Structure 1
Amino acid sequence: MARPRSEDKRNALLTAAAQVIAELGVSAPTARIAQLAGVAEGTLFTYFRTKDELLNELYLALKAELRDVMLPNYPKAESVKNRARHAWRKYLEWGVSNPDKRKAMTQLAVSDRIYERTRAEALEAFAEVDALLRESTAHGALRDHPPAFAAAIMGSLAETTMDFIAREPKRAERYSAAGFEAFWNAVARA
């Protein structure tokens, strides 16, 4: 009879995977992930049938965590710019506080090992932000960029901003404001 799976072990494996992938990339050995999680390598495959399944589940978990940080207290009734600024600040807070998770998510985002259905599921988690982009474009507040392109601009500028904040934490507010202004100028209609 198979042992019941533990949510704690599954979470430990995901946490370890984020750390190891941040360090070694998506080609990181599963043995190292299991070792860091404090389990046997075979145990990893009790929770995730394949390494690709582990990578896809990690991608979804990281996106869900980011969503859970960005969307509470989302100012739905405020201007487009204020809603975008809220999402920006929350994204930066999460990324600066979780450098390994941020780096792992960045590597997973460009990996061909993440399935299209996983990417689509992750996007659904941000449906509210996507709706903001589409609505704002339709009403002329934003340039007519595809939402994925606007999100990519935000992601790239946020990564740069987080790198500078990590190097010079005392200038965090300055970098955050400058990064947001660059993003806003790239997506908003003049």
Structure 2
Amino acid sequence: MARPRSTDKRNAILAAASRVMGELGLSAPTARIAREAGVAEGTLFTYFASKDVLLNELYLELKDGLRMAMLGGYPDTASLEERARHAWSGYVAWGLEHPQERKVMAKLTLSDRITPETRATGSAAFNAITMALREVTAAGPMAVQGERFVGAIMTSLADTTIEFVAAYPDKASEYAEAGFRAFWLVASGH
């Protein structure tokens, strides 16, 4: 009879994958990931049938952490600007607290090894933010480009903000506010 799988081992493998892939990229060997997690390589494949399964699970795990940061305490009934600021602030805070995960998320987002189904699952968790982006986009100068384009602009500006806040922590609040204002101006026109 097979032993039940341990949540702790699964989480250790995912955490190790994030660390190792942050260092070596998505081509990092599974043997290194297993060693970093403190398990045998065969154990890694007990939890994740293939490296692609591991990558897809890691993508969802990272997306979930980002979702919690952006949507925790989300002010559903606040103004559109306040909702956008809440999501923005959550993204920036997550990026600053989890630089390695942010780096891996960027690589996974561009990877063709992430399945369309996994991408859809990851995106569905952000429906409140998608709806807010749709609302701000419809009323703003980017209406023709749509919320996906505005979302990409938000991500780019937030990533730039994270880089500057990390490099110049004494000006963190200034850069965070300037980044949000730039996004809001582009997205809403005000």
TM bin, normalised by shorter chain, reads: over 0.9
Letter in 1 for 2:47: Y
- State the partner residue of 1:143: 142
Q: Write the letter of the residue equivalent to 2:62.
A: L
What amino acid is the match of 2:142? R
TM-score normalised per structure 1: 0.94
Instruction: Name the structure 2 match of 1:175.
Output: 175
Structure 1 equivalent of residue 15 of structure 2: 15
For the structure 1 residues 135 and 184, does the alpha-carbon distance in structure 2 shift closer, same or farther, using more than 3 Å as the test? Answer: closer
Q: Determine whether 1:43 maps to 2:43.
A: yes
Deviation, 1:189, is 2.9
Whether the 8 Å contact between 2:75 and 2:83 is mirrored in structure 1 is yes
Structure 2 unaligned regions, length at least 5 = none
- Alpha-carbon offset, residue 135 of structure 1: 3.0
Letter in 2 for 1:131: M
State TM-score, norm by structure 2.
0.94
CA deviations on 1:6-45 (whole Å, 9 max, x unpaired) are 0000000111111111111111111111111111111100
Count of aligned residue pairs for this structure pair: 189
> How far is 1:142 from its partner?
6.2
Shift of 1:71: 1.0
Match of 1:77 in 2: 77
In 2 relative to 1, CA 119–142 (structure 1 residues): closer, same or farther, beyond 3 Å? farther
Give me the whole-angstrom Cα distance separating, in 2, the residues matched to 1:133 and 1:105: 21
CA drift at 1:188: 1.0
Shift of 1:69: 1.6
Matched, 1:153 2:153: yes
**Which region of structure 1 is more displaced relative to structure 2, 34-43 or 179-188?**
179-188
- Inter-partner Cα distance in structure 2 for 1:142 and 1:67: 27
In structure 1, stretches of 5+ residues that fail to align are none
Q: Which amino acid aligns with 1:147?
A: E
> What CA distance in whole angstroms lies between the structure 2 residues aligned with 1:32 and 1:109?
22
Asked if 2 retains the 8 angstrom alpha-carbon contact of 1:136 and 1:142, the reply is no
Offset, 1:76:
1.6
Deviation at 1:141, TM superposition (A): 4.7
Task: Output one character per residue of 1:117-150: Cα deviation in whole Å (capped at 9) or x when no partner.
Answer: 1111111000111111223344x25631322211
Distance verdict in 2 for CA 1:183–1:137, change over 3 Å? closer
d(CA) in 2 for partners of 1:33, 1:142? 46
Sequence identity percentage: 55
Task: For 1:152 and 1:20, locate their aligned partners in 2 and report how far apart those are by CA, in whole Å.
Answer: 27
Residue 170 of structure 1, CA deviation: 1.6
Q: Distance in 2 between matches of 1:177 and 1:136?
A: 18
CA distance in 1, matches of 2:75, 2:132: 11
Equivalent residue, structure 1, for 2:31:
31
CA RMSD of aligned residues (A): 1.3
Q: Which amino acid aligns with 1:169?
A: P
